[in-house]
A and B are shown apart, each in its own frame.
Chain A
Amino acid sequence: MAQAQDGLLATPLADRHRALGARMVEFAGWSMPVQYAGILEEHRAVRTRAGIFDLSHMGELFVEGIDAAAALGYALVSEPAALKVGRAHYSMICFPEGGILDDLIVYRLGEERFMVVANASNSAAVSDALAERLVGFDVVLDDRSLATALVAIQGPSSLGVLAPLTDVPVADLRYYAIAEGRVAGVPALVARTGYTGEDGFEIVVDVASAGTVWDALLDAGRSFGVVPVGLGARDTLRLEAGMPLYGNELGADTTPYEAGLGRVVKLGKDGDFVGRAALEKAEADGPRKKLVGLILRGRGIARHGYGIFAGDRQTGMVTSGTLSPTLNAPIAMAYVAPSDAEPGTIVDVAIRNQRVPAEVVVLPFYRRAG
């Protein structure tokens, strides 16, 4: 069980983070490592070698029963029934009004068994919403978030590090596939998913086994130059990869279409689902705003909340921004009016009392080779 400390939840790896010299911060009610050696160094390690991440704060919700696929098809915007066993997809759970409650990954572990992984910040809300929406279906919802740890390894060396540690044939595990087996001798789910834009694996184990897996990955990773990576680099990595963050790009006031993720909504699936009417209307009406990538063409870093202008008219707002370590340029994701969303459009970002030009670009900013 996660322990409460100063009012914050601690992951099973907390002592290890401190021993590694991690700077800890509060995130979604958890005490989490934001950095170890430094954000830039950790970011570059993931892009060139590999890094390991403690993601035990995330939510793991298991849905099992005869109606599992149908129930999730009602509760979510995607169609879990279409997943083969051992496959996963990116999805969203929306409000009846069409706004986003959370973005998540749905993994099919069996004909009647699914795992839903939710953001730490929304874990309880997703659990509550699923409990409500699953009423009437022949399923059991088992929220195992506090009993489950998640360790990720991400980067081009991930496969080389993990393969000798597991009986899961990870070399043959496709992107967005999941398999059950053992890692470092302990029972685990191994998924080829991640939030960095690199190859990598997310390993789900009981909290009691988290240390064993972490230690084994660090140890096996030593000769590959594997380092521990905190939430700071996790954010710069996902931003370069054009991946949204709930609370920044996604929220209750945003539809999947506005976030450029309309492909996740399966309006063609059978039966009603929560938000169907609102999302059908949103799709027909067209977006009120569009999510774009920006590269700043002047000096300055765009940050969450900064205004975006087309001439004197405010056209939108920055949702996430940083200095991209890979591009060595300031990048951002932002919502702008659809008329200003064409790639190549130059807009101005208001940074303190100045306007800095930025170019609209197609996401992602970074795509891995091969």
Chain B
Amino acid sequence: MVAQNLRYTKEHEWVRVEGDLAIVGITDYAAHQLGDIVFVELPEIGRTLDQFAAVGVIESVKAVSDLFAPVSGEVVETNSELTSSPELVNDDPFGRGWMLRLRIGDASQLDSLLDQAAYEDLTRES
């Protein structure tokens, strides 16, 4: 399932824009590829992220994966539920499995992300 009003990175992060904030997570495709997620490490609140930089870590039982920032901005909130319940990323990657909220630094960066159709093409090819 790919939710409709989002933009995506090639590394399988999704972004939902709410005013000047971007909510970020990873897609169900990524969660499925990773398998059972057992640990999520997110950047500290207040930190400024650069677009496409590795800013966090998502660990499955067997592997360690980077979380990439889809746009530049300042972290204003992270999902504290993921500390005790990392499996939310597998169960509800677009909802309760959200990872961070950031204040968008440069909204034009959203244009460099994949839209719905482009992301579906990407995952269909894989």
Chain A residues with a Cβ under 8 A of chain B: 23, 34-35, 38-41, 232, 235-236, 299-301, 303, 322-323, 330, 352
- Please tell me if the beta carbons of B62 and A39 are within 8 angstroms of each other in the complex: yes
Q: Once the chains are docked, how many angstroms separate the CA of A330 from the CA of B57? A: 16
Instruction: For the complex, give the distance between the alpha carbons of A35 and B64 in Å.
Output: 17
Given known pairs A301-B59, A352-B57, the reply for A39 and B35 (CB within 8 Å) is yes
Whether A323 pairs with B39 at a CB distance below 8 angstroms is yes
Total A-B pairs in contact (CB under 8 Å)? 38
In the complex, whether B69 has a CB less than 8 A from a CB of chain A is no
Cβ–Cβ contact A300 & B39, under 8 A: yes
User: How far in angstroms is the closest Cβ of chain B from A22?
Assistant: 12
Separation of A140 and B59 alpha carbons in the complex (Å): 48
Q: In whole angstroms, what is the CA distance A39 to B41 when docked?
A: 21
The 6 closest A-B pairs by CB, nearest first: A323-B38, A40-B36, A39-B61, A301-B39, A38-B36, A39-B36
Most chain-B Cβ atoms within 10 A of its Cβ — which of A235, A303, A323, A330? A323
A40 touches B64 (CB 8 A): no
Query: Which residues from chain B contact A35 at a C-beta distance below 8 Å?
Result: 35
Contact A303 B64, beta carbon cutoff 8 Å: yes
Contact of A232 among B57, B59, B62, B64 (CB under 8 A): B62
Q: Within 8 Å CB of B87, what residues of A?
A: 40
A303 to B36, CA, bound (A): 16
Q: Which B residues lie at the A interface, using CB under 8 A?
A: 35-36, 38-39, 41, 57, 59, 61-62, 64, 83, 87
Complex: A301 Cα to B36 Cα, angstroms: 14
Given contacts A23-B35, A232-B35, A301-B38, 11 further A-B contacts (CB under 8 A): A35-B35, A38-B36, A40-B36, A232-B61, A235-B62, A299-B83, A300-B39, A303-B64, A322-B38, A323-B59, A323-B61
Query: By CB atoms of chain A within 10 A, which of B39, B59, B62 has the most?
Result: B62
Cα–Cα distance between A34 and B62 once the two chains are bound (Å): 10
B36: nearest chain-A partner, CB-CB: A40
User: Nearest Cβ in chain B — how far from A44, in angstroms?
Assistant: 11
Bound CA–CA A220/B59 (angstroms): 36
Residue of B nearest to A39 (CB): B61
Interface centre among B36, B62, B83, B87, by most A CB within 10 Å? B36
* Residues on A with beta carbons closer than 8 Å to the beta carbon of B36: 38-41
Chain B positions within 8 Å of A330 at CB level: 39
* Cα separation A301 to B59 with both chains bound (whole Å): 8
CB contacts (< 8 Å) of A40 on chain B: these are 36, 38, 61, 87
A301 smallest CB distance to B (angstroms): 5
> Please, how many angstroms separate the alpha-carbon atoms of A125 and B83 in the complex?
44
* Complex Cα–Cα for A299 and B38 (A): 11
CA distance A354 to B53 in the complex (A): 19
Tell me, in angstroms, the Cα distance from A322 to B35 when the chains sit together.
14
Closest to A41 in B: B36
A39: which B residues are within 8 A, CB to CB? 35-36, 61-62
Q: How far is the CB of B12 from chain A (nearest CB, A)?
A: 17
Q: B125 CB to closest chain A CB, in angstroms?
A: 18
Nearest-neighbor residue (CB-CB) of A25 within chain B: B62
Q: How far is the CA of A236 from the CA of B57 in the complex (A)?
A: 21
A sample of 10 cross-chain residue pairs with beta-carbon separation below 8 angstroms, ordered by A number, consists of: A34-B62, A236-B61, A299-B41, A300-B39, A301-B38, A301-B39, A301-B59, A323-B38, A323-B39, A323-B61
CB-based nearest A residue for B83: A299
Which residues of B sit under 8 angstroms from A299, Cβ to Cβ? 39, 41, 83
The CA of A299 and the CA of B86, in the complex, are separated in Å by: 13
B105 to chain A, nearest CB (A): 24
Enumerate chain B residues within 8 angstroms of A322, measured Cβ to Cβ. Answer: 38, 61-62
**Alpha-carbon gap, A267 to B39, bound state (A):** 45
A34 nearest in chain B by CB position: B62
Instruction: Please report the C-alpha to C-alpha distance between residue A352 and residue B59 in the assembled complex, in whole angstroms.
Output: 13
* Closest Cβ–Cβ distance, residue A318 to chain B (whole Å): 13
Q: Closest CB-CB distance, A344 to chain B, in whole Å?
A: 25
Residues of B within 8 A of A235 (CB): 62
Closest to A43 in B: B61
A301 to B38, CA, bound (A): 9
Cα(A323)–Cα(B64), bound, Å? 12
Interface core residue of B35, B61, B64, B87 (most chain A CB under 10 Å):
B61
Q: Which residues of A contact B64 (CB under 8 A)?
A: 301, 303
A328 CB to nearest chain B CB (Å): 9
Chain B residues, Cβ within 8 Å of A34? 62
